[in-house]
Amino acid sequence: MNSGQDWSDYWLKEGVSGEVFVNQQGHKPPELIEYWNGIFQQQPDGSSILDIASGAGSIYADLPEHQHYLHGTDISIEALKLQRTRIKGISVTASSADKLPFPSNQFDLIVSQFGIEYAGTAAFLEAVRVLAPGGRMVLLCHYRNGYIDSRIAPQLTGARIALETGFTDKAAELINARLSGTRNERFQRAKQAFIDCERKLAACLDKRSEGIHVHLYQGFKKMYENYLNYEEEDIRSWLSNVQVEIQTSVGRLSAMDKATMTEAEIATICQALLQAGCQKATFESFITSRHELPFAWSLSAVK
Ligand SMILES: C[S@@+](CC[C@H](N)C(=O)[O-])C[C@H]1O[C@@H](n2cnc3c(N)ncnc32)[C@H](O)[C@@H]1O
């Protein structure tokens, strides 16, 4: 999940519900809305503001009336299309965050929410370049062992195990072999091979499990147990669709995992911002009332 096309596939499929912080009912934590509103209220009217790796426009979506000039940039054209239909008056530019097509010293405020860190350290330095002298940069970044990571890491492990064990191929062979009868050698071999990989996948499930591997494990179990109610072709086609979803999930979750930062890593980014010309660069944990683990690193810098 490194190219703009991969991310565009993601945004086309998920729409605005693809935002990291939104729950299944489409709600964001109120602390998040308050956080960004607080930042924007401190800006003088007429500020030029850039959201880097803006996705579908989560940061701007809940702003009250304002007099600022809003810009969004993202590697995905589909994300920007969603953003343009959602945020009145915004101007958008497709680009990778480590190579922004803007002149130096242009923006009064730069923001990003689980975005800039996907493009690595060079993107933080590029943000300093386009920030105006005296301008401010405020970022919420993925937090290693925080709330989001605690949900994502088991999903990534499960999806990787489903891929590595070849679960869907073995499940399809079990279905094919079953057609030839349950007493022959082919079926016994297919059953044993399937049981071995099923055990490995079952070892990553617990009561709170979520993710594509859970869908695969439970879905196939249900079909196999109710075998007579399904057409074999439907089971095979379901398995091959889930296989594609697993590959997509591994790509997306690996990108998130790679972007997630430890305290030492965010401290190193702050040092790099100071060396690149910021007068001040600090970070702290971003906490919400409903979650025990921190949600994000909140990084604030002034050029
Ligand atoms: C987890 S989403 C967050 C989007 C949005 N900021 C939000 O809060 O909903 C990460 C975003 O980073 C974008 N992205 C990934 N790699 C990028 C890169 N190298 N340059 C710019 N944007 C990138 C993706 O297209 C995606 O929209």
Write out pLDDT tens, residues 31-44: 899 999 999 999 99
Q: Which residue out of 12, 70, 75, 96 has the highest number of ligand 1 atoms within 8 Å of its CB and is therefore the one to mutate?
A: 75
8-state DSSP, 283: E
- 161 and 205 inside one domain: yes
Distance from residue 266's CA to the centre of ligand 1 (Å): 18
The burial class, CB within 10 Å (0-12 / 13-18 / 19+), for 78 is: buried
- Of 239, 255, 271, which residue constitutes the final position of a domain? 255
For residue 104, what is the domain's CATH number? 3.40.50.150
Q: Which residue out of 74, 253, 298 has the highest number of ligand 1 atoms within 8 Å of its CB and is therefore the one to mutate?
A: 74
- 96 and 21 inside one domain: yes
Q: What is the dihedral of CA 296, 113, 2, 237, to 10 degrees?
A: 80
| Predicted pLDDT of residue 18 | 74
- 98 and 208 inside one domain: no
- 183 and 130 inside one domain: no
Q: What is the pLDDT of residues 287-303, one digit of tens each?
A: 988 888 999 999 999 99
The token pair at 129 is 């370049």
Number of domains in the chain: 2
- 58 and 131 inside one domain: yes
- 152 and 139 inside one domain: no
Distance from residue 300's CA to the centre of ligand 1 (Å): 19
Structure pTM? Answer: 0.92
Over the chain (303 residues), what is each successive 10-residue block's mean pLDDT? 82 79 73 94 96 95 92 96 93 97 98 97 98 98 95 93 95 89 87 94 82 92 88 92 94 94 98 97 93 94 98
- 20 and 59 inside one domain: yes
Closest-CA residue, ligand 1 atom 13, reads: 53
Q: Is 117 helix (H, G, I), strand (E, B) or coil?
A: helix
- 59 and 208 inside one domain: no
- 83 and 208 inside one domain: no
- 138 and 170 inside one domain: no
Q: What is the pLDDT of residues 140-192, one digit of tens each?
A: 999 999 999 999 999 999 999 999 999 999 999 999 888 878 788 899 999 99
Residue-range definition of the domain harbouring residue 267? 4-143+261-302
Task: State how far the Cα of 100 lies from the Cα of 271, in Å rounded to an integer.
Answer: 21
- 228 and 81 inside one domain: no
Distance from residue 105's CA to the centre of ligand 1 (Å): 23
3-state secondary structure 148-165: HHHHHHHHHHHHHHHHHC
- 11 and 96 inside one domain: yes
